[in-house]
Amino acid sequence: MTSDLERLFEHLRFPSISTDSRHAGDVQANAQWLKAQFVEMGLEAELHETPGHPVVLARNEKVEGLPTVLIYGHYDVQPVDPLELWDSPPFEPEVRDGKIWGRGGADNKGQHFVHMLGAEKTIQEEGKLPLNVIFLIEGEEEIGSPNLVPFLKEHLDELACDIIAVSDTGMVAPGVPTLGYGLRGITCLDVTVKGPAGDLHSGVYGGCVANPASAAARLIASLHHDDGSIAVEGFYDDVIALEDWEREMWAQVPGTSNEEILASIGSPEPFGEPGYTMAEQLWARPTVEVNGMGGGYQGEGSKTVIPAEAMFKLSCRLVPGQDPDKVQAQVEEHLRKMLPRGVTIEIDKGHSGKAYHNDPHSRYGKAAQAALKRSFGREPVLIREGGSIPIIQDMKEILGADSLMLGLALPGCQIHAPNENYAVENFERGIEMSRALLKELSKI
């Protein structure tokens, strides 16, 4: 085991679960450990307390006239439940079959640590970094970064940068360097359908009152046409169309044909908006998805009731051009318009975040591609991500800088699930990629 791996394992042993108050001390201890690592590297480091968990900032001595890159990551991790599904203890990392197994390996400790090591090795060999570097490692990403936007605004001047580098996304396949230049946005709604004041006997009252569970099912079904396209009026009006080069690029991305995606997830056939491949649907088209639904008796056997209420949860993934507030309003208007007789509806609006998009052919994008090619030995693929990282768009709006998304997590890395893993090869190549990135960006 190399010393680099040993240090990563130290990082992974902290059970820094941000959502669980029982681990607040572990999150704090992990932040202190990170600060010490930065100081040992020769950088100025500070730990900033927030109303939640700390933000760790580190930087080299600023040189006027040189470009500045901000490297973002997070040291908090997801809960590990169900623990019995882990093949090895989640906070006792180990290497098996060429992979690092443990919570946080891919998301995000292993990914941001390569940038720390890349900077450290550059300092050791060159005596200094070739440009101004700021590290911002937060402890609340897994709970939506509630205190990071105020922190960015409060520290706007000291966080001023030309470009942001983020490794918190994925590679499309082993050995295929991947530059992400877009993320879908998100908006969520919780819907409650109410009928009688309490549960009713389905024999005594069935057929003379509306059933909230049936009404909820009808509302859910009304959200899509039979072909899979979204039936909400105006939903697609602001969507920016895919460019020809994107469709040509994505058609050649390894592992993303319809057949390969279906094989990886176990679904029998594609379903969704017509006219697009599954990769195009995932990366560049909006969605309305049901994330949960319930109502009435859920136990064993029968209990013949008409439930007093039913519920369902919706999330909409958004693409460039769409405004989360507008989409929430459109979906709410649709549900109220389609509401069956005999029930009422309550809608609680959840969290939102805009889609993110940049130009991968900019000078910064080209620098990132050169760094990926140098470290992985082949031309990178350019993709958008189907998921959402709202803080990326927040940083663009507050700091005025775009983000290079240099993902190192492979399909099957089990992010947020038991047996999270991170390829040793990607850890090692990631360090070289980070060093190359610093050099390429310094030329701009």
C-alpha–C-alpha distance, residues 28 and 14, integer Å: 10
Q: Please give the average per-residue pLDDT across 78-107, as a whole number.
A: 97
User: Tens digits of per-residue pLDDT, 324-372?
Assistant: 999 999 999 999 999 999 999 999 999 898 999 999 999 999 999 999 9
Give the model's pLDDT for residue 166: 98
| Average pLDDT over every residue of 404-431 | 97
Question: For the chain, which residues make up each domain, given as ranges?
Answer: 3-183+355-442, 185-239+286-353
Minimum mean pLDDT among 34-38, 45-49, 142-146: which range?
142-146
pLDDT at 1 over 60: no
Is the CATH code 3.30.70.360 the one for domain 185-239+286-353?
A: yes
Q: How far is CA 221 from CA 70, 231, 338, in A?
A: 45, 10, 10
Q: Which element (helix H / strand E) includes 31?
A: helix 24-41
Confirm if 317 and 186 have CB atoms less than 8 A apart. yes
What is the model's pLDDT at position 388? Answer: 86
**Cα separation, 356 vs 392, whole angstroms:** 7
Write down the architecture of domain 3-183+355-442 according to CATH. 3-Layer(aba) Sandwich (3.40)
pLDDT digits (tens, 9 = 90+) for 262-301: 998 899 999 999 999 999 999 999 999 999 999 999 999 9
Whole-number pLDDT of residue 303:
95
Task: Locate the DSSP E strands across 257-330.
Answer: 289-295, 305-306, 309-318
Residue 261, token pair as written in the block: 């995606």
Note the pLDDT of residue 2.
60
User: Does residue 179 contact residue 365 with C-beta atoms inside 8 Å?
Assistant: yes
pLDDT digits (tens, 9 = 90+) for 123-179: 999 999 999 999 999 999 999 899 999 999 999 999 999 999 999 999 999 999 999
pTM for the model: 0.90
Helix (H) or strand (E) holding 344: strand 344-353
In this predicted structure, the answer to whether residue 203 has a pLDDT above a threshold of 60 is yes
CB atoms within 10 A of CB 128: 11
For tokens 């949960």, name the residue.
292
* Among candidate residues 416, 427, 406, the one with its CA nearest the CA of residue 172: 406
Average pLDDT, the chain: 96
DSSP string, 247-259: HHHHTTSTT-SHH
